[in-house]
Structures are given as C-alpha cells and as structure tokens.
Amino acid sequence: MSTDLSILQLIIDASLVVKIVMGLLVMASLMSWALIMTKSGKISATQTSVARFEDRFWSGVSLNSLYEELSQKTNRQGLERIFWDGFHEYKRAIGVDPASRLSLTDSVQRAMRVASSKEVDELEQNLAFLATVGSTSPYVGLFGTVWGIMNSFISLGQMQQATLGVVAPGIAEALIATAIGLFAAIPAVIAYNRFSDKIDRLNVSYDNFREEFTALLERHAAAQRKSA
C-alpha cells in the first residue's frame, strides 16, 4: 500500500485546525507581500524626491522662487513639504514680528517638525503589520504542527500495529504548517528591518535639513532687517 506524500495531497488531507492555520498564514503572507511592494515603492519615491529637492535647493535658487514653485504642487512630499511649511511660517512670522528672532526661529522649527513628523508617520504606516507577521507567524505555524502531531499520536495509539508509513503522513502535514509560517515570517522580518533603516536615514536627512534651513532663514531675516 503506497501513501501519497506530495505537498498538495498532504495539505488536502490535513485536519481542519491545521488547514485553518495554513490558510491564515498564507493570507498573512500575501498581505505582507502586498504591503512590501507598496511600501517599497513609496520609500523609493520619497528617497528620489529628497535627493532631487536637495540638488534643487542647494543649486542657488531663490527661496521665494522655490516657494512659489512648490505652491503650485498639490502633492508635496519629503523635504518639499518640510521646506514649504517652514518657509510659509517664516513669511507669516516675519510679517507679524520681524524684530523677534527667537519667536521666528521657534515658529519655523515647530512648523517643520510637524511636517517632518507627518512625513515619517506616513512612511511608517502599517510597518507594525510586518513586525507582527514576522514575530508571530512561526508560532502560529508551530501551533498547527503541534496540533497535527498530537492528532497523529492519538490515531497511533488507537492502532493495533503502527508503522512509520502510517505515522509519516500526519507528521509531514503538520510540519508543513511550520514551513508556511517561516515562509511568511522571513520576508516580513527582512522587509521590516530594511524599511526601518531607510526611514531612519530619511528622518536624519529631515533633521539635518531643518537645522540648515533654520540657520539660512535666520541669516535671511538678519539681512532683511539691515536693509530695512
């Protein structure tokens, strides 16, 4: 008597609980891969936008010209958004109290911090899902494996004569749950760590730009006061 030990047949013959576990893991894997593709495109686009804006910003273009140029855009992202919000607050604050350097710096920094925080929050959105899949999938798969092996040994105890051929299919189908759990977890963990590193680097770029831009605006305001 031969036993079909193909992967597909083992999955079909698995118990209901093990099938549910496998289904949940496959669903989690598909969702994590969809998120990985979406998040990868979003972060790559942001990195490109940041590099392009830095080149444009330090090319010697007028701040007012750059501000007016970005005012025409409805979808500002990355440094574009931070610059626009900061310079918008600068123009407002300089008109209200041009003599107060402290209040000017504080208000501009606050506006740019809020913009930077929103940008980072958008990039980090749903990353917790990848962390959850990466940390829990092996344990969910292990639960399915333990349940399947438990059923195999229960069935084994009810038999008068047990052979490896009788026990092997039940154990094999149970181990598939662990394999699927690892298949779901490994890409999620790798993607989470990779995205977290890229977002941290972008956040550092935002912080550096805020400090450099604030210093530039202070010099710009001082020059305006002298010329006034």
pLDDT in tens, 100-140: 555 677 888 899 999 999 999 999 999 999 999 999 999 99
- Comparing 78 with 150, the larger pLDDT belongs to 78
Residue 16 is predicted with a pLDDT of 82
**Does residue 70 lie in a domain region?**
yes
**Does residue 54 lie in a domain region?**
yes
**Does residue 2 lie in a domain region?**
no
The whole-number average pLDDT for the span 9-31 is: 83
Residue 176 is predicted with a pLDDT of 84
**Does residue 148 lie in a domain region?**
yes
SS (H, E, C) the chain: CCCCCCHHHHHHHCCHHHHHHHHHHHHHHHHHHHHHHHHHHHHHHHHHHHHHHHHHHCCCCCHHHHHHHHHCCCCCCCHHHHHHHHHHHHHHHHHHCCCCHHHHHHHHHHHHHHHHHHHHHHHHCCHHHHHHHHHHHHHHHHHHHHHHHHHHHHHHHCCCCCCHHHHHHHHHHHHHHHHHHHHHHHHHHHHHHHHHHHHHHHHHHHHHHHHHHHHHHHHHHHHHHHHC
pLDDT, tens digit, for every residue of 146-205?
A: 887 887 777 666 665 656 555 666 677 778 888 899 999 999 999 999 999 999 999 999
Residue 1 is predicted with a pLDDT of 41
**Does residue 75 lie in a domain region?**
yes
**Does residue 159 lie in a domain region?**
yes
**Does residue 44 lie in a domain region?**
yes
**Does residue 1 lie in a domain region?**
no
- Domain boundaries, position 159: 7-227
Q: How many structural domains is the chain composed of?
A: 1
